[in-house]
Amino acid sequence: MKDTVEINQDWKDKISNHAQIGGIETSVIDNGAGRGTRIAWINTGTGLRFKVVIDRAMDIADAFYNQHSLAWLSHGGITYPQPFSDQGINWLKTFGGGLLTTCGLTHFGGPESDEFGERGLHGQISNTPAEIISIVQPDPRMGNLEMSITGIIRETKPFGPNLELKRTISATLGKSVIHIHDEVINKANTPSPHMLLYHFNFGWPLADEGTDILWKGKWYPNSGENAKIFREGNDFKKCQAPLNDHSGGGEEVVVVDIESDDQGQSVCGLSNCKIGISALIKFKKEQLPWFANWQHWGKGEYVTGLEPATNQLIGQAKARENGSLIFIEPGESKHYDLELEVLNSPVTI
């Protein structure tokens, strides 16, 4: 069904430093709007390499497979974190796109306010720096091909909520796979609301006219009867040509009760037969029961988002009202595991 990329392991007794094959390199951006932002480049040695933005919740910005970019990058690109950008739609001012932007930890969705407070678009966690607690490099001479970076990101204020996201991003020399393991812990003395969405953003050339968008499940267009793309009879699982209707804020979103296999695993992704590569995201339905597909085919702003989530795209207030809002008790933790694999062939699911 698929071809997994494997590194040529004929390096035995021929290298002095693991960086000759791959590994993790940390640095600091020294120019532009991202000046002072810590990053880590992770190279798997297979052609898959990606940039973890340490100061932006360890989200992933640039990502490449060989010469092909996988991620969509916004006009602004990486900006320095702005922790108080969670007012109204200010989140968009620092939205660099990138392969992954994390939304939450207590709210995602549009701006809202109620008796429990005011919440901006998609929450504040993606504008929060991480405290790095470990970096593990591969050591191929000793037979260890694993590498990882682990950090702690806190969404906190006095009297709550006080949530801690412990994130580990790992990879293996010779495999074109990114692993993400997140643990969200309530460090406060009162229960905390919890909402989490993984905003994967794919751009050209992986996302291109005719690229297959892969997901299965019962779907509900977020724009209802006004939907132009997500309508019965439309082929909305293929990337379109740039649309004039999507200039500016034009977009469409579908919410999906995503299917899972016998092991409880759900799969989504993109498959491009023109360039012969695919990207598959795998996650556990029990952990992330909902999924959204964002399509924005603007000229010069051409992107589709694949977004596993804990809830539908309704925000904290409506989730509280309909009883679907998750609460984490003091000392309790929630775990989330995702995998992104790049394949060197078109695939179906």
> What are 75-104's pLDDT values in tens digits?
999 999 998 777 888 889 999 999 999 999
Q: Which residue has the tokens 């905390």?
A: 192
The whole-angstrom distance between residue 214's C-alpha and the CA centroid of its chain comes to: 16
Predicted local distance difference test score (pLDDT) of residue 9:
62
Which amino acid would we find at residue 101?
Answer: T
Predicted local distance difference test score (pLDDT) of residue 86:
78
* Rounded Cα distance, 52 and 59, in Å: 6
Predicted local distance difference test score (pLDDT) of residue 37:
98
Residue 218: which of 235, 201, 230, 200 has the closest Cα? 230
* Rounded Cα distance, 181 and 266, in Å: 16
* Rounded Cα distance, 8 and 11, in Å: 8
Predicted local distance difference test score (pLDDT) of residue 211:
98
Q: For residue 193, say if its preceding peptide bond is cis, omega within 30 degrees of 0.
A: no
* 313 in Cβ contact with 200 (< 8 Å): no
* Rounded Cα distance, 62 and 69, in Å: 8
Predicted local distance difference test score (pLDDT) of residue 88:
85
Predicted local distance difference test score (pLDDT) of residue 204:
98
Low-confidence ranges of the chain (pLDDT < 70): 1-9
Predicted local distance difference test score (pLDDT) of residue 5:
43
